[in-house]
Structures are given as C-alpha cells and as structure tokens.
Structure 1
Amino acid sequence: MSHVVVLGAGLAGLAAACHLVGDGHRVTVVERESVPGGRAGQLHQDGFIFDTGPTVLTMPDLIDRPLRAAGSSLAERLDLQLLDPAYRGFFADGSQLEVRHGHEAMRAEIHRECGSVDAAAFDEFVAWLRKLYIAEMPNFIDRNFDRPTDLLARPRAAAQLFALGGFGRLGPMIRRRFQDERLHRIFSFQAMYAGLAPDDALSIYAVITYMDSIEGVFFPKGGMRAVPEALAGAAEDAGAQLRYGTTVAELLRDTSGRVRGVVTDDGERIAADAVVCTLDLPTAYKYLLPDVRPPRAVGGLLGGNYSPSAVVWHVGVRGVPEGKAHHNIHFGHEWSGAFQDLLKRGTLMGDPSRLVTVHSLDDEEAAPEGCSTLYVLEPVPNLEVGRIDWEREREPMRERLLGFLEESGYPTDVVTEHLVTPLDWQQQGMAAGTPFALAHTFPQTGPFRAPNVDRRVPGLVFAGSGTVPGVGVPMVLPSGRLAALRVREMVG
C-alpha cells in the first residue's frame, strides 16, 4: 500500500484525501491549525462563531463526490438548507431585487421588478447557461491537462463553447441580453469570484452565475465550517490519519530530485511515495522548492495577474437585522469605474459594493440569543497593485464599514469584532495578500493555469485555488480529485 502525505486540511486537501483513501492509499494529512478548514476556517470569539472563509455554497454534488469516494455521502454527513433568496440585492436608488431559486420564481421576480421583456430574456438566458455548463464542466474544469494542445482532444466541446460565445466578454454579453441595469449587476458580479471585472471576464465564467443563480445557494447546518468537518470525518473513518498542529518545514527529496516525504518543524521525517501540496503555489515554491525556478504561470515570483483582495470584518452585534437575507449585496452607484479603482489604479473603490452575510439567521450556534454574526466584505486591491498603507488604513476602513452598516439598517451595537486586511492574508501565506489566488485571465485559465504537477519534481502534486481548475469552493473540490488522479499516474 503506497503512502501519500497531504499538506493542508483545507477543502482541496480534504477532497484529495477522500479520493486517495478511496483509491486504496494510506493517507496522512498534515495541518498546521488545530481544526480542519484551511481558508474555510472558523473563529470563536466572545460567544460568537465566525466562518472566516467562503460564505456562498453551491453545487453540493461536488461535496458528495469526495464523500462517496471515502465510503460516505452528503446525506450522511451534512444537513443542507436551500437559501431562497440566494441573495438580496440592494441598489443605490433604493430599489431591491432578489435572486430567487428556481426558473419560475426568478422569472416572476424579474417580471415584477424589471418588466416582461427582461422576463422573457431570462428564459433564453437560462437555456444558454445550461448549455454552457454542460459543455464546460466535464471537458474544461473537471479535467487534467498536460499541455495546451489537450484542448483539441475534445473538439466537439471546444467548438460548442466557441459557438455559445464562451470566449467573448461576460459584461457585454449580459448587457445584450437584459435591459435593466440591475440585472447587468446581478448576473455579472460573479466575475469577481474569478478575480476580474465583468467587462474583462470571459463569458465562460457565466458558469459561476449558473451555479448560484440557477442551481441554488445552500447553507449547511452548523455553518460553512461543517463542510471541512464532514470531509475530514469521512476521510478519517475511511482510514486516513489527520495530524493537526503540525507544520511541514521541508520536502524530503532523493538525489534525483524526487519527493520522498516531508520534514516537520520539529524535525520528524515522514516518508511518502507521493506528496499533495495545497499551499498557495508561490509560497510552496518559495519555502519548499527554493532550488526550483517557478513556472511563469505560478505568478507573483515571476509575473502573473492576481485577483483583488478583500477586507473582511467579522462583527458580533446585539440585535437582529430586519428586512435582510442570509446573503445581501449592496451595490454602489458606480460600477465600471469602481473596478478601475480596484484593478487598475490600485486604490480603494470610490463607490464600493459590499457583501454582508448574516450567518446567524440560519445558524443558531453562531451568536448568543438576541445577537447576530455579520460577515462584511469589501473588495480591495491586492498588495501587488495596491498603493494602500494598511497599517494606517485599518481603522478608517473599520469606521467606514461601521457607518455603512448603520446607514443600511444593520444593528451596530458591537460586542466583538475581527478585521482582516490584505496584510493578514499575506501573513497566512497567501501571495499578493489575496485569498483568491491568480485571476482567471485567459493566459491563466484551463491548460494555461499553473499546472498541478511540475515534471522537474516527481512525486509532488499541487491542489487548491492556485492551480487547476481555479478559485472557489466549486473549483477546489475537483482540484482535490484531479490531484488524486495525478497520484494514481505516479504510484498506481
């Protein structure tokens, strides 16, 4: 039985562990924190529980797959609640628009708020999104590439993506379909998940819009932290060993350069036939492969275009907000100019749009009785393009976010709080101070993205948001499976 060490108990590492143990490997997961989760972590503070990573959960079948590989299932491990509305959009003119679950419910919402023409356009939009997803997911997302020419191995799918306009630009495509500007924002803000302005993102990333606007947004009982806990539990029950509070200091390599295991920070040597590394790729090359020149696609060290970062303010407050959904998007007056601030000028958005997630509305453990847990996110430049002194800007940002909450009708009697800036992300090992890794520009997409193997370092496989297929929960879960397939190629 071959032994595989997985570095990191985040979603990618845990998915990889589930698939690896299902393939018959002996698996050890090494995690520096005391709990599973990685970027999908948690914070306990003054009686409040905060989910510190992703807050939007879509495509639960992608969680079910690694669970089943480990002999378990989604139904056994998680209790999911469908959120309807998935989002409540608040606009600068005072209007609101909800993203409702189901074709008919969303069509009715559009008809009521935007008119019959846009409601009819929605029918065609849904059909287009479904075709895009069916062509894209199995052929270009959930697949390993060895070279760019592998795109030609499935010419019918590639031709279909071209025919669907998948390589056009998302923003203009949405504007051609809908008249109401609010719909332009509701159906294109997801480009930010790919690290791009809607006018710069390829239309193939409308697949993210499909995932949340059509397939639905869910919330697990116990909070988002329940997802890594479920994966970790399944992996352990199937025989994997999870070692928390353990940091890997270096890779063990033989004279040929092949990886043979890891060395922990206390000097323990753990032998392995293969290692799956889920560290942010520039960090992995810098600290674990200092003698290997990183590929340009890795970014940071030798170029590359990083996603924007975010300030996240975790706030425990007295009171419960009225008229708010689980996920609330507050759009500013400005749209395209705000992205110019963020991505080109490297400044704070002059008129920002913000996300407020109220976990405690659906998680009774998240806050004491009569209180609420708020997750307030504002996109900000990453540390490579940004010109912001976060030591000085930290408190002014906090005051602006407090004023925004008050103006928007949220309770602001703060009991406890924790503010995260790009400097904090950087200190956690995230290149350019962003938790969203490399942006999904065309040269950093699919087979052009940083690969999950480096042929110069046999025995090492990468997983996570920095490599294929990309950023976000629906991407890093398949990333773990793709890493397990690479291990299968290496050691059988």
Structure 2
Amino acid sequence: MLTLVDKPTSQRASNPRPHAVVIGSGFGGLAAAVRLGARGYRVTVLERLDQPGGRARVHRQDGFTFDAGPTIVTAPFLLEELWRLAGKRLADDVALVPMDPFYRIRFDDGTDFAYTGDPARMRAEVERLSPADVAGYERFMDFSRQVCRVGFEELGHVPFGRVRDMLRIAPDLLRLHGHRSLHAVVARHIRDPRLRQVFSFHPLLIGGNPFRASAIYGLIAHLERAWGVHFCLGGTGRLVEGLVALIAGQGGAVRCGAEVARITLAGGRATGVALADGSAIAADIVVSNADSAYTYGTLLAGQARRWNTKKLARARSSMGLFVWYFGTRRKYPGVDHHTILLGPRYRDLLADIFDRKRLAEDMSLYLHRPTATDPLLAPPGHDAFYVLAPVPNLAGGQDWARLAEPYRQRIAARLEATVLPGLADSIVTSRVTTPQDFADDFLSLRGSGFGLEPVLTQSAWFRPHNRSEGVENLFLVGAGTHPGAGLPGVLSSARVLDSLVPDASSLPRPEAGEPR
C-alpha cells in the first residue's frame, strides 16, 4: 500500500492551490516549475540525484568547480523572463559575461577561425581563409536569419500536438530547405571545406549529425549572433541555484534523493507519482523532465500507445558523450574560453559515431576553459578544464569501464600535442563521464547525450509531444520533447506549457476535507 507523502493535511488545507509535480530538475523541469508557480500552482520538483540540475549538475573536487553539462548561455531573455515571472531580476542573482570570440575553431592543420558575433569581423575571418566564399557566407547568414525567425522566434514555444500543426508549417519547411541536411545547405553557399565545417557543426551541440540534421537547425548561427554567447560567473550551476531559489520563493519545493518509480494513473489520467521508497505523491498535473523514452518506457510502464516499446526501439538516439574534467597546476593564458579542435576527418568521423557506432582512433574535441573568464573556479595559479568528445552511444556496445582510461589518455595526448603543452605533468585533479554514466545517472536511453537525435522525422510533431498522447494531465519538457535539446530548446519546452496547461485558478477546488 502506498503512503501519501506530501504536506500534512492541515498544511494542504491552508494552501489549497492545485498541486503540480515535476519529475526531474534539469533546466526544463526547473523552468516549468517557475512558470507553473507563477500561474498559481503549488509545485514539487522531484530529483533522484543528490543535487538539482540534472545534466547541469556541478562537480566540486580538490578546490576546482566543474560544470558537468551546459557551459554556454544563449538567448538569455528566456532566463530573464523566468526571473520576471517570479518577481525578480536575473541580473540581481546571476552575472552573465559575453564571450568574445564565441569559439576558437582550430583545424587539424593548425589554422584557426575566430567565431564571433560581429558581422564585419566574421566577414574578415571568412575572407582570410577563402575570399571566394564571402558572398556565400552572407547568403547563408541571411538563410539562418530567416530560419531563426520561423523555427525559433515563431515556433519554438508553440506546441505541435496535432498533425495539422505540422502541415501548417510544411510550406515554410520546404521554402527553408528543412527537408535537406544542414551540411547540404551550407555546401550550396560555401565551397571551402574548412568553412563548411565551421558553419555546419552547430547540430552537434544538440546531439545531431550535420549530414542528416534538418537545415532548420541552421537557425543557431543567427540565434548566437542576435543574442550572443554568454558564460555565467561562478559556473552554470549558479543558474540552477537561482532557479531553485525562485521556486522556493513561490512556495514550491525541490526534493533531491527522491526517485520516481512510476506515474500513477486513474481512468487514463495522471494522478501523481509513486516513489521508489514505496510512498506516493498526489498531483493535479504531472510534468516529466525525465528522458522522454524513460517516461514512456518505464514511468508509464509501457502503457503509452504512440511511443510504445517497439517505437522506442526503432527511434534514433543522439550520440554519446565522453567528458573529461581536469585541473592543472599551471595556467594556459593562450587558450580561449571555448575551443573546438577539429580532427582530420569530418563526414567519416561522424559516420563512425552515428552510423557504424565505432570508437574511432581520431577525434574532434570541444575544450572548455572557464577560468579564462572566472579564475575563482580553480585555486590560484591553476586552470580548470572540461573536454568533450562525441562518441557512439551505447548501441555501439563499447565497454566504457575498460575503455575510459585509455580513451582519456588519447585525448590528453591530443591536447598536449596541440593547445596544452606540458599537460601530462600539470594535471592535479581528474574525473570522467562516459555514455554509461549518462545511462546510469540520467536514465538516458542508450546513454545518449541529448535524447532523441534531431532529424526531421523526430522533430516538431514527430517528436514526443509536450502534452502526452493518451494520458491526460501529463506533460513533457526537456531535450526529449519539442523543440529539442540545448539550453534555449529546453527552456522553450517549458514555455510551450503556457498554452497547454490550464491556469490553476481554472481547476475545480477540492471538496472540504478532500486532500490534494
């Protein structure tokens, strides 16, 4: 028999607001909680790990602070809106610093490209590498502006719960080449193979292969130019702390170490959650920020009609991530905050990762040096780093317990030979995260880093809907639902709920003496 774990009846009587339970405290779940709190709900966020944030948790080790997941902030107005909804100002709690350059992209031959938000400087960088591609670059950026207006500004917060929603945007999809891959569209405008990589890599930031991710994801280039790329002083974890404080200020709560075993149902409606410890929490609505495949395959015990076990088995998952966090006893002042080190192969490496599921000998890396902007994230005279390598998800069958250390050593050798000379003798702290950790810690299908792969047939209406199919009062947010992964995507998924979840004041109030 399940025991109700909630506020005591006397407290529920004094706080009769409808109750919303949010499963998971990633950015999507926290943003949903703030929005629901602003609309009159009493919100309880349940997190199975020992700290909030989900993939945005923080590792503190030997005097270093490492953001485990997201390291950049784009479209900060989405965060500012959350603080306004709670009657606060983002700037009073969090300092966002603009990045310049956004990224330093280093090609395998040692040449580099400073990727910024300044149109004149970007034209000059393009001209330095390939004068013949300046006009094509301008055409691509005009394309990116158009697709950002439609795909992000107009549709990023709009639900796609009906097939006619997809049909309505079909003309725009065709006009903006949404049926083509981003790399194919970039290649129509730009000839230099290095610049084709520069302007097509963005889908990798949300788990997509540029050679099959829809050209709609070309919107990211303009999104970054329009609103900038920022870093949060103190690390991205400061944003998590700020959101948790907003929820508390609204009268909600974030409970860590609370694992949800299943979503409880009655008559096809979500009625709350059952916890792994045998207790239960009743709710008027349930919002799942868990991996969408886990929500349908486990939390609903396979009872979903559309996203059933067979369909989930056929679905494409995004790639896996190997992340190495390390600190050095010396500083590397010549290394930018964000560096992308491209390997000798592009298309073939991505085919190894996404299709053949083979762990290749070569690699492309994203290197994050947060102490370039905030020295307080490491002890004095030290640097903190995070290096990420896209790798196959667990469908590749790799044994990461055996492979993790040799692969880390290969990454270290690559870094030492390129941008971090003397690295081997400078490391003072180290830890890694593998696709197996994504499966174990975040319950991610196949240990993928970003949920379902962002291909056209798994986007918008084809993605798990924000309003659950077949289960009333159940809603989804986060990377596994519309509009997808990345900080703007998951924050926008919470925005979608504004048009799906009724205001708390419109729900029937409980009868006298009836617990809620």
Which range, TM-score by smaller chain?
A: over 0.9
Instruction: Say whether residues 1:224 and 2:236 are aligned partners.
Output: yes
What is the SS of the residue equivalent to 2:313? coil
How far the C-alpha of 1:44 sits from its partner, in A, is 0.7
Compared with structure 1, are the counterparts of its residues 294 and 433 closer, same or farther at alpha carbon in structure 2 (3 Å cutoff)?
A: farther
> What's 2:191 paired with?
179
> What's 1:14 paired with?
30
Determine the C-alpha separation between the residues in 2 that align with 1:110 and 1:129.
16
> What's 2:149 paired with?
134
Determine the C-alpha separation between the residues in 1 that align with 2:65 and 2:336.
19
How far the C-alpha of 1:287 sits from its partner, in A, is 3.1
Determine the C-alpha separation between the residues in 2 that align with 1:209 and 1:119.
16
Residue by residue, what CA displacement relative to the aligned partner does 1:147-168 show, whole Å, maximum 9, x if unpaired?
2221344x5xx43442233332
Matches within 5 A, 1:243-262: 243-254=255-266, 256-262=267-273
> What's 2:351 paired with?
340
* Among 92, 97, 111, the residue aligned to 1:76: 92
Question: Is residue 45–residue 416 contact of structure 1 (8 Å, CA) maintained in 2?
Answer: yes
Residue by residue, what CA displacement relative to the aligned partner does 1:142-196 show, whole Å, maximum 9, x if unpaired?
211222221344x5xx434422333322112212212322211111111223433
> What's 1:352 paired with?
363
Determine the C-alpha separation between the residues in 1 that align with 2:126 and 2:227.
17
Determine the C-alpha separation between the residues in 2 that align with 1:222 and 1:180.
39
* Among 23, 29, 51, the residue aligned to 1:35: 51
* Among 414, 436, 459, the residue aligned to 1:423: 436
Matches within 5 A, 1:448-459: 448-459=462-473
* Partner AA of 1:39 in structure 2: R
Compared with structure 1, are the counterparts of its residues 116 and 296 closer, same or farther at alpha carbon in structure 2 (3 Å cutoff)?
A: same
Question: Is residue 135–residue 161 contact of structure 1 (8 Å, CA) maintained in 2?
Answer: no
* Among 96, 103, 114, the residue aligned to 2:129: 114
Matches within 5 A, 1:239-278: 239-254=251-266, 256-278=267-289
Compared with structure 1, are the counterparts of its residues 282 and 169 closer, same or farther at alpha carbon in structure 2 (3 Å cutoff)?
A: closer
Compared with structure 1, are the counterparts of its residues 391 and 245 closer, same or farther at alpha carbon in structure 2 (3 Å cutoff)?
A: closer
Determine the C-alpha separation between the residues in 2 that align with 1:389 and 1:250.
29
Compared with structure 1, are the counterparts of its residues 170 and 301 closer, same or farther at alpha carbon in structure 2 (3 Å cutoff)?
A: closer
> What's 2:398 paired with?
388
> What's 2:474 paired with?
460
Determine the C-alpha separation between the residues in 2 that align with 1:223 and 1:362.
10
> What's 2:18 paired with?
2
TM-score by length of 1: 0.93
> What's 2:159 paired with?
144
Determine the C-alpha separation between the residues in 2 that align with 1:297 and 1:343.
23
What is the SS of the residue equivalent to 1:141? coil
Compared with structure 1, are the counterparts of its residues 33 and 344 closer, same or farther at alpha carbon in structure 2 (3 Å cutoff)?
A: closer
TM-score by length of 2: 0.89
> What's 1:399 paired with?
409
How far the C-alpha of 1:281 sits from its partner, in A, is 1.8
* Partner AA of 1:476 in structure 2: V
Residue by residue, what CA displacement relative to the aligned partner does 1:307-343 show, whole Å, maximum 9, x if unpaired?
1111000111111114211110011111111111111
* Partner AA of 1:232 in structure 2: V
* Among 279, 282, 292, the residue aligned to 2:303: 292
Identity, % of aligned positions? 35
* Partner AA of 1:24 in structure 2: G
> What's 1:475 paired with?
489
Instruction: Say whether residues 1:369 and 2:380 are aligned partners.
Output: yes
Determine the C-alpha separation between the residues in 2 that align with 1:315 and 1:79.
24
How far the C-alpha of 1:368 sits from its partner, in A, is 0.6
Off by >4 Å, runs of 4+ in structure 1? 297-300, 489-492
Q: RMSD over aligned Cα, in angstroms?
A: 2.1
> What's 1:204 paired with?
216
* Partner AA of 1:481 in structure 2: R
How far the C-alpha of 1:115 sits from its partner, in A, is 4.2
Determine the C-alpha separation between the residues in 2 that align with 1:341 and 1:443.
21
Question: Is residue 382–residue 422 contact of structure 1 (8 Å, CA) maintained in 2?
Answer: yes
Determine the C-alpha separation between the residues in 2 that align with 1:300 and 1:387.
21
Question: Is residue 300–residue 431 contact of structure 1 (8 Å, CA) maintained in 2?
Answer: no
How many corresponding residue pairs?
486
> What's 2:457 paired with?
443
How far the C-alpha of 1:362 sits from its partner, in A, is 1.4
What is the SS of the residue equivalent to 2:331? coil
Compared with structure 1, are the counterparts of its residues 291 and 214 closer, same or farther at alpha carbon in structure 2 (3 Å cutoff)?
A: closer
Determine the C-alpha separation between the residues in 2 that align with 1:360 and 1:175.
36
Compared with structure 1, are the counterparts of its residues 146 and 160 closer, same or farther at alpha carbon in structure 2 (3 Å cutoff)?
A: closer
How far the C-alpha of 1:294 sits from its partner, in A, is 5.6
* Partner AA of 1:398 in structure 2: R
Determine the C-alpha separation between the residues in 2 that align with 1:185 and 1:301.
31
Determine the C-alpha separation between the residues in 2 that align with 1:453 and 1:236.
26
Determine the C-alpha separation between the residues in 2 that align with 1:244 and 1:468.
26
How far the C-alpha of 1:233 sits from its partner, in A, is 1.7
Determine the C-alpha separation between the residues in 2 that align with 1:371 and 1:456.
53
Residue by residue, what CA displacement relative to the aligned partner does 1:337-368 show, whole Å, maximum 9, x if unpaired?
11111112111134211111011211223111
How far the C-alpha of 1:484 sits from its partner, in A, is 4.6
Compared with structure 1, are the counterparts of its residues 298 and 230 closer, same or farther at alpha carbon in structure 2 (3 Å cutoff)?
A: farther
What is the SS of the residue equivalent to 2:74? coil
Determine the C-alpha separation between the residues in 2 that align with 1:298 and 1:323.
50
Residue by residue, what CA displacement relative to the aligned partner does 1:65-106 show, whole Å, maximum 9, x if unpaired?
222222223333321110000000111111111102221222
